[in-house]
Structure formats: structure tokens, C-alpha cells
Structure 1
Amino acid sequence: MPLFINRDQIFAHQVHLLEHKLRSKEERILELETENAILHLRLSECLGKLRRDHEEETLNQHQHQSNAQKMTQLSLAKLLAEVQAVKQDLSELFAVYFSFSSELEEQSKQLLDKVEQASCSLNGHRGDEVQNLQADVAALERSLEEERERCRAERQRRKALHNALVVTTRFLKTSPKELRGNIRVHCRVRPLLPFDYVPSSTSGSRPMSSEEVVSAISSDTVMVNCIKTGTPVQNKMFEFERVYGPEDSQEAVFQEVKPLLTSLMDGYNVCIMAYGQTGSGKTHTMMGSQLLEEHWGPQQEAQQGIIPKAAAELFRLISDKPAETLTVEVSVMEVYNNEVLDLLARDAQGSGADQRREVITNSAGTSQVTSLTHEPVHNASEVMQVIGSVLKLRAHCPTLFHADSSRSHFIVTSRVSPKSPNALPWARRLQSAKKAMQRSAQKEWWSPGCRRANPGGAAHRSSNDHLFASTPSSPCRSPSHSPCPSPRPSVSQAPFRTKLQLVDLAGSECVGMSGVSGAALWEVSCINRSLSALSDVLGALAEQRPHVPYRNSKLTHVLQDAIGGDAKLLVMLCVSPTQRFVTESLQSLGFGARARQVQKELPRRKNNTLKVK
């Protein structure tokens, strides 16, 4: 009998089964979604834990570095005490030297008087007395030469200790042998100023533009919090030889710059330049407050910048060199629209004078500004009067950052030329006395075997060759074996100059941030091109390329000796602390990081010193 199958029942049963499977799948999906959410929570916890561990590790590293730096500072303090002791010994030697010089001059006068009296007499027995006097003069001169050699040795020791102290202070993390000739980079983070308190252009979760994102976390590290919408905060670290925070005073900044001036007196060229955007504190760091005041009294010293403090320190160091005097000449120029302008010539001849100057490279391979005006100065007050008289002539233009923004690179150059004004007049007086004695002396009293070379040259040699000669039996047979040397060594002075360049660069911000228009756009373009040329020069030096493009800009051509020569260069980075200027701050910090990579030649002290033979 045939079976009848109800297809509707079969289909209904299959639909029931499929619905059951669908419910099972949906429940499984819900379980997986729940498990996925739990895994996401665990992942977030792990990431938070890793971030906290990283922050703790970073903090521990900074603490370790701080402890190492403290130990190094203790050793430096001990070394500094030794340097002070050497300076004290040197001062005592100078005093002994002066006493010997005065005594020698007095005794030389007495001996010359006695010799003149002896030359007027024709008695033969007076010849022995003359020889005894000549022997006394030789003994005194030998004693003076011994003291002079001791003085030279102590001076060389002081210079070596000073250079070792500067190198050790600047480079705590790398061996001095590796970094002795590098460019030194310092960074200064300015405090918040009234114009920083401006809200950002957009609302929402973005921070206010006055929020501090750049901070000095240690004496050699700057941290920048890079804040972007939708991304976690990223911290960028920049390390330099020295970092100053908003709490550091002008005096604290100058104390780190001060050793370079001692190197200047030791014969090195020195350059200090301030780099940063407009409003970051470059002019405040270099010049200080109350720029155009006629008197720089004690009440204003706290706000003085590097330039006035360096002038005062320079003349203080000059006063510590009583054995010789130093002449100082100051020139002031600006690089504006890729033109070198002599501000002192403009101030002396009026605003209509043509103060444009050309930069050339001389036969020695150093750069030189032609027809540059130099003003002789005798103290720090005169230096600041010269600078203050032309500071108002510097190019200025209002921008969004500053109502009176400087639009040129301002360069103050001090040339120091040592000479000894006491030695030459003394030698001339003695030569005059020799001539007078020769005119009054009898020819038979002088032996042609005891001759001296006249420092004045061959034209005067015939009138001065027979002074202090002995009898024919005297052992004085040649100038090299003469027991009667001249009362004073011959003095020759080589033309030698050390150069101190203090540079206040124009702002490094881009055109959009400066907010200028019209003719001022050309100024901003020239500023950015010159700073870009400066960066290209540093990049070429860091990569040790065979060609360094110094001549791509008048700024780099003027500063060629300081950037690529054997001078000591300090770059002072000035940055703003707020989110509003974080792009410009990062650009400045990147420039400083590139500058630190430059490995220059080992600084060589110039040999053009006062020669005493």
C-alpha cells in the first residue's frame, strides 16, 4: 500500500532545523563579540602598563644621568680651584717680574752713568771697572730672563688647564678627544609672555595655544610634547651642551659663555650667535633689557645680555695683563636683504650715506669685509655707547609676533690687538743712551769684536755696534758669546688679531606665521634664504663634503671663519614654550641638533703673540 508523504510537514521541519541553527550561530557570534571586547580591554591594560613602565624607566635614566653629572661637577669644581691657584701664582710671578724690571731699569741707569764717567777718563785701570759693571748687567739680565721663562711656563700651564676645563664642562657624555673642536650648542626656553595667552582658532578637544609644550627637563635636555588631535601625545627629546629654563637668569647664561672670552685672550677667534623665531628671546639674550640707556649702572646689570657682559669681561681680562696692553676696535654691521651694511658708516655720515660693503676671501682663506668702519674703544661703556648709537638704525618691521621685529642679522665684531707699549720706548731710551756714550767714548776703549745687532735695522747699525765693548783681551769675541748683552732684549711685534663676533640673527619663522605682506615679503624671503644657507653650510660640514657653500649667502660668507674655521663657535638656540609656536620651536631645535653634528678642526691658538728675544 503506498505511503503518502506530507511535503508541507517536511518543509516545516527543515525550516525549524534551519532556524535552530541560525539561533545557534547568532549566540556564537554574540559570545565571540563579548570575548573580543574582553580582549580589547586586556590589550588596553597591557598598553597602559607598558607606557607606565617606559615612563618609569625614562625617569630612572634621567636620575642616573643627574647623579653622574653631579659627580662630574664635583670634579670640575676641584679643577676650577686648581685653575684659581695657578692664576694666583701667575699674579705673584707678575709682581716679581715687575719688581725685577724696575730694579733692572734703575741699576741700568746707574751703570750707564758709571760707564759714561768711565768713558770720559783715559786711565787704563778703569777698563777693569767697566768690565765688572758689564758683568753685573749680564747677571741681572740672566736673572730677569729666568723669571720671564717661569712666567711663560705658568701662563702656558694656565691656558692648558683652562682649555681642559672648558672641554670637560661642555661635553660630559663624550670623550674630550672626540669633541674638542665641535660647535657648541646651548638652548634657552623663555618664560610665558603676555602675547602667549591667545586661544587657538578652533574649539573642541585641542589645547589652548598658551599651553606649555616645550620644557627644560634637565640641564642638557629639552622635551617637546607633540600634541595632535586623535593621536597619543608624543614626547621628543633634544640634547645640547647646556639647556636654560625660564627660571635661569641672564647671569646664569653668561657664566656658561664666560670661559670662551678667556679663550679669546689665549689667541682663539670666538663667535656667539643667537638663533630662533621672532619673540623667542634672542635680542633679550644678546643685549638684555633697556637697550638704549646711556648709562649701564649696577641696577641694570641683572638684565644685561651677553654683549654688554662680554664687553665688561673682555676689559676685565685686559686689565689682568699688566705686562702688555691690548687695543680693542669695534665694528657693527647688519645683513639686510642679502646686503652687508656698515652701520657705523651710516651713523657717522648720515642716513643717506652708502654703507653697503662687499665680502671677500683674502689670500689666507679667511673672509673679510672691505672698507668696514672700526671704532677704537677703551672700556665696556664705550662699547655699549657705540652699539647704542647705531642700534636704532637696524631694520625693523611689525609682524604678528612682535610690533617691532628685527628684520636683519645684527653682527658686532670686536678685534683685539695685543702690543707692549712699555718695551719699545724703553728700548729707544737705551739706544739713545748708547749713541750718547759712543760719541763721548774713545775708540781705543771699544773692541770691534763685541758688536750688537741693532733692532732698528741696517741703516742705524753703524751708530750702535760698538756699545759695551771690552778691551782686546776681553773674552767677548762674538755676539753669541758676549758677556755684555744689551740692557733690554730687542722687541718685535707681529701683526696679530683675535676676533669676537656676537650675532643676533633675524627671526626664523615662515611667511605664514609672520603675517607680513607686500614689500615685507622680500625681507622674509631673504631672511629664510640666508638661514637656509646657514643650515646648508652646517650640513655640508657635518657630511664632510669637499665643497662648503659659504658664498650662497652674505651671512655665511661673513661668518665663514667662525663656522668652518678653527674658531670657537657657540650657537644659542632661543625657543618659545607654547603650543602656538611649537612648529618654529621644533625647527630651531632641529637646526641645533644638526649643528652639533659638525666636527670642526681642532682649535689652534694663533701664534701671533708678542715676541721677546
Structure 2
Amino acid sequence: MRPRGGSGPGPVWAQRVRQLERSLRTKEERIVVLETENAALHLKLAEYQGLAGRSTNEVLQLYSAHGQQQKLQRGSVVTHLHEAIKRLKQDMKSLRSFALELSKDFQRQCKAYLYQALTAVQEIQLQNEAMQMFQIKAFDLEQSLQEVTERYEKEKQKRRVLHNSLVELRGNIRVHCRIRPSLPFDNADEHSISQDRQRNFSEKVAYAIDDETVLVKCSRPGHASINKTFQFERVYSAFESQDTVFADVAPLLTSLLDGYNVCIMAYGQTGSGKTYTMLGPQLEENFAFALEDESELGIIPRATQEVFRLISEKPPGSYWVEVSVVEVYNNEIFDLLAKDSCGKVFGVKRDVVTTREGKSNVPLLTYETVENASEFLHLVIRGLQLRVRHPTLVHAHSSRSHLVVTLTITTIVSGDSLGTSWEDEQINQRLNKEFSCTYPQKARENRSTSSSRASSPAQLEATEKPKQVKTRLQLVDLAGSECVGMSGVTGAALRETSFINRSLSALADVLGAIAEQRSHVPYRNSKLTHLLQDSVGGDAKLLLMLCISPDQKYLTESLQSLGFGTRARQVQRGQIKKKNLPVQSKAK
């Protein structure tokens, strides 16, 4: 019996084969027993045949006692045995034939399976070869992509360097834009509106396409969506850290010690992240934590650390730093470091004037000398505690004033280190006189140091005239621009909002007048623009940090901020001039 169907023996046929093998072994054992019995019977038969060859009488005598019945029985047994042996031989022959057929069938199936296995192995080898080819191609493509990416980065760096050089030559205002992430308070006031409007309000409409482009989706009910793009020197997405932001700011700080004035200003609506970008999260309340975890510090503390690091690389005693902190509140300037007769700090109203040289100045403004970044932060925090804050519907801790932190770096150089004009000589003489009155000890030390180094009367006369070169770093956190309807303020807060918006409008007017090269620039329309006159329209390298919110509900304010930054980018003030320093290092 041969198995039917199937591509192989399978478990059923394997079991059937095992059963047949066991049956075959049983039959073979039975055959051995029967063959043994058959051999014994053959011996007896031979014996009987031998006896039959004797004489008939002897046989008859030998078997006479047994009788005729025994003879008949012996003949029947022999016949039965012969028949059994014949049947066993036939069964054995059929079993051997079936086993042979089963073996042949098993060999055929093994050959078929072996062929299939060889075919599968060949296919796997071909697939492996194809995979290796794909891997080689993928590696080559990755290499090419890496090379193209490196070339792109190099070209982008070259373009940025050339662009910055062009910005510096033209005196343009550098504009960076930072898009903050969505925050919990964005949806705090939406419980009273419908779900559809809430979904629209929380939809993100401002994106950073790349590190130089902002995309804004402008949509109105019943109108097709319009995409607007804005180009700036640098654009930061919602996921970029404070470290990344400051990395693009740090090169400007080197310019301070190269003789340039620098101003970094944050502009944007309330709650867009200006104070976080400039100071960090609640710096005045977590000063100790801020010093330990510097990852969240903003531009102002980081800039001071960088300035003192750069100063530490210079000769000791050649630089010192003074700090002033003022706020512009309701179009009035307040000195946040001023003290009363008891030494208590309180905001004192000051005024801003224009000097004969055409520079803005705040008479009687308090300047504190600091020797490290920690002292600076203590002073800034002391001033921040007096800064005016009121809650609005947009932000619970909204700053209602413009904050201006100024670091004045004074460099002392010898008189023969640089040639100066008559006007510079007059200014230096006045500065030396002020320096001697304000810092007599330092003046004496400088004179004694200069005297000890002089080796002749001519050298003594030259080195006894130290000159002071002052450069200034202004760090400005502007109050938030916003519409009155969204802020929800009334009474005194409404008056504050009005002054904030008017001062920011005046700043936009000043930038527009400079961009259009008008003969008159309205700096005095606001105390803010009057105070920042030297930075906005003077000889300072100005970086404007735009801060915008990504959600639909702030679309109008975000577009206003982006438009302000676009106008600021168009300002050309001519090449920014540096102060005369003895070492003409390359400005960043």
C-alpha cells in the first residue's frame, strides 16, 4: 500500500511506516521461529525417510505399536506446516515489495525536497547579493548626501558671513525671530467660546521653515488661506534652547572689547517670551537655582558672564564695568538702582537729555561698579523687584514697563597708544579729570604704574596721560505690544497699555524715518526712543530679537511684530564706527 497525495511523508505517513516496520519485524521473528520449527521437522522427516528406506518389515515392526492413527496425524502436521511456511513466505515477499516501494518513494521525495532546498538557498544567495548591492548604493548615497550637506553648511556659513559683513557695512539692524511653544495659558480664557472657535484659536499658524524663514498661515472665515513668509538673519523654532539663541548673540559681545557699542533688544506682544529670552524663567525669584542650572538663563545673565570671561583674558586693571538699570513706565524714566538717604533702593524718576555731541544722556543716573557676573545679577534682580507688573488676560505677570540694563565698559589706555584728534584730546582730558575725581585711588595707581615703566622724561610725559575709552552694552526687554480688547485691562492698566503702545509706535516711527533717510528723526516723541537714540540710530551694533506666539488667536499681534522686524531690517545707518583702541582686533 502506497501513500496517496501530499508533497511528503508527513507525520501520518511516518507513523504508518513505523507501524509497518514493527509489523515487519514481528513477521520476521515469526518466520525465524517457523524456520526453526521447519528445520526440526525436516530433521525428523529425514529421519523418517531414512527409516523408510529400511525394510518394510522393520518399519512395520517399528511403527506397529503406534497404530495407523499416529501415521495419519504426522502426515497432517507436515502438510499444515508446509502450508504455513508457504503463506509466511508469501507475506514476507509482499512486505519486502512494499518496503522497497516505500523506500523508493521516500528517496524520490527526499530528492524533491533537496532540490527545493537548493533552489531556496540559491534564491537567498541572490537576495543577499542584491541586498549587498543595495547596501553599497545606500552607503554611496549617504556619503554623497553627507558631502552635499557639508558643502551646503559651508556655503550657508559663507553666505551668513558675507551677509553679516554686508549688514555691518550698511549699518543694518540685525533681526532674529524666536517662535515660542504653545503654553497652558494660551487656552485659559477659551472656556466660554464654542469648540469650533476654540479649535481655530489653538491652531498653530506660525512656523519656522528653516533657520532664516518664518511661515505664517493667514486665514479668515469665508476666505482662502494665504501663506506669508518673512526673512530674517536667524529664526528659532519652538524647540530651540536658550543655549542655541545665545550662541548667535555671543559674537556681538566680542565687539564690545573691540571698541563697538552693542544693543540687544527683545520685541513682541505680551506673553510671547521676551522676558524669558532676555532673563530666563522668573530670575528674580529663583536666583540661587538660576546660578546652579544655567541652561535656562537668558541673554542678559549669559551676556554678562561672557563679557567678564572676555575681560579676564585682558591685562588686569585695564577694564572695569559699571551697571545701570532703568525702566520706562508711562513715558517716564525711573532709576531702579537709586537709593534714599537710608540706603533703601527705590525707583527715582530721571530725565533724558541730548548732549552737545548729539548723544542721549540721563543725568544723575546711578551706576554701580561690578567685578563679576554674580554681582551684576544681584543688581539686576534688585532692580527687577521694583519693575511694574500687572496681570492681564494674556499673561498673569505682564511687564508694564520697558527695562533697559546697561553695562558700561571702561578701557584705560596710555596716551601714546593711539593718535587722536583735538576733539578727542579735549574729551580725554575731561574724562581723565572725571576719572581722577571719581576713582582717585585707581588714578594714582595708574600714574604710579606708568611712572615706574617710564625710562625717560618724554616717556614719562606720554604715559602720564591715560585715556579712557567707554563702550556700552544695552540689554532691553521691551514691554509687550497688544490690543486693548485682547488684554482686557481697564482703569490704570488701560493707561499703561496706552503708553506702552504709543512708545512702541514711536519706536516704529523712528525706524521708518531712518529707513527712509528723512532729515528729521522723531527721537523725542517718546522717552523710550530718546533713551535708545544712540543705539537705534547711532553707532551701536543693534540686534532686534522678535518674539512671537504660534497660535491663531495671536495672529494679528504676530503679524504686527513680524512687520516691525521687517521694517527694522531695512534700516541702513552706514558703517558702524568703533572707538579708538590701541589693539585693532577684527570685530565680530
Same fold, TM exceeding 0.5? Answer: yes
Correspondence for 1:338 among 313, 318, 331: 331
1:318-351 Cα shifts (integer Å, max 9, x gaps):
0111266210000000000000000001588677
Correspondence for 2:183 among 186, 190, 193: 193
Matches within 5 A, 1:476-555: 490=463, 492-555=465-528
**Is the CA contact (8 Å cut-off) linking 1:274 and 1:505 kept in structure 2?**
yes
Aligned equivalent of 2:457: 452
Matches within 5 A, 1:384-423: 384-419=377-412
**Is the CA contact (8 Å cut-off) linking 2:267 and 2:478 kept in structure 1?**
yes
Letter in 2 for 1:310: A
List gaps (5 residues or longer) in structure 2: 1-146, 414-441
Q: CA deviation at 1:363?
A: 1.3
Q: CA deviation at 1:196?
A: 1.8
**Is the CA contact (8 Å cut-off) linking 1:337 and 1:408 kept in structure 2?**
yes
Aligned equivalent of 1:427: 450
Aligned equivalent of 2:65: none
Describe the shift of the 1:608–1:492 C-alpha distance in structure 2 as closer, same or farther (beyond 3 A). farther
Letter in 2 for 1:520: A
Letter in 1 for 2:386: L
* TM-score computed with the length of structure 2 as normaliser: 0.64
Aligned equivalent of 1:309: 302
Query: Quick one: distance in 2 between partners of 1:423 and 1:283?
Result: 40
Query: Quick one: distance in 2 between partners of 1:430 and 1:319?
Result: 23
Q: CA deviation at 1:403?
A: 1.3
Aligned equivalent of 1:562: 535
Aligned residues: 406
Letter in 2 for 1:407: R
1:359-390 Cα shifts (integer Å, max 9, x gaps):
11111111001100000000001100000112
Correspondence for 1:169 among 160, 177, 187: 160
Query: Quick one: distance in 2 between partners of 1:70 and 1:524?
Result: 49
Query: Quick one: distance in 2 between partners of 1:205 and 1:507?
Result: 25
Aligned equivalent of 1:325: 318
Letter in 1 for 2:523: Y
Correspondence for 1:381 among 349, 374, 379: 374
Aligned equivalent of 2:579: 606
Aligned equivalent of 1:184: 174
Query: Quick one: distance in 1 between partners of 2:577 and 2:207?
Result: 36
Letter in 1 for 2:515: A
Structure whose alpha-carbon radius of gyration is higher = 2
Letter in 1 for 2:298: G
Q: Does 1:278 align with 2:270?
A: yes
Bigger Cα displacement from structure 2, 374-383 vs 420-429: 420-429
Describe the shift of the 1:228–1:297 C-alpha distance in structure 2 as closer, same or farther (beyond 3 A). closer
Bigger Cα displacement from structure 2, 265-274 vs 415-424: 415-424
Letter in 1 for 2:546: L
Query: Quick one: distance in 1 between partners of 2:398 and 2:340?
Result: 21
Secondary structure of the structure 2 residue equivalent to 1:537: helix
Secondary structure of the structure 2 residue equivalent to 1:495: strand
Secondary structure of the structure 2 residue equivalent to 1:599: coil
Aligned equivalent of 1:372: 365
1:385-440 Cα shifts (integer Å, max 9, x gaps):
00011211001111001112100000000000012678643333367xx8xxxxxx
Letter in 1 for 2:304: A
Q: Does 1:209 align with 2:201?
A: yes
Query: Quick one: distance in 2 between partners of 1:517 and 1:350?
Result: 36
Secondary structure of the structure 2 residue equivalent to 1:497: strand
Q: CA deviation at 1:296?
A: 5.8
Query: Quick one: distance in 2 between partners of 1:427 and 1:494?
Result: 12
Aligned equivalent of 1:250: 242
Query: Quick one: distance in 2 between partners of 1:315 and 1:267?
Result: 16
Correspondence for 1:300 among 267, 280, 293: 293
1:235-287 Cα shifts (integer Å, max 9, x gaps):
01011000000110000000000010001110000000000011100000000
Describe the shift of the 1:68–1:210 C-alpha distance in structure 2 as closer, same or farther (beyond 3 A). farther
1:114-143 Cα shifts (integer Å, max 9, x gaps):
xxxxxxxxxxxxxxxxxxxxxxxxxxxxxx
Letter in 2 for 1:316: R
Secondary structure of the structure 2 residue equivalent to 1:223: strand
Letter in 2 for 1:335: V
Secondary structure of the structure 1 residue equivalent to 2:465: strand
Secondary structure of the structure 1 residue equivalent to 2:311: helix
Secondary structure of the structure 2 residue equivalent to 1:248: coil
Describe the shift of the 1:351–1:530 C-alpha distance in structure 2 as closer, same or farther (beyond 3 A). farther
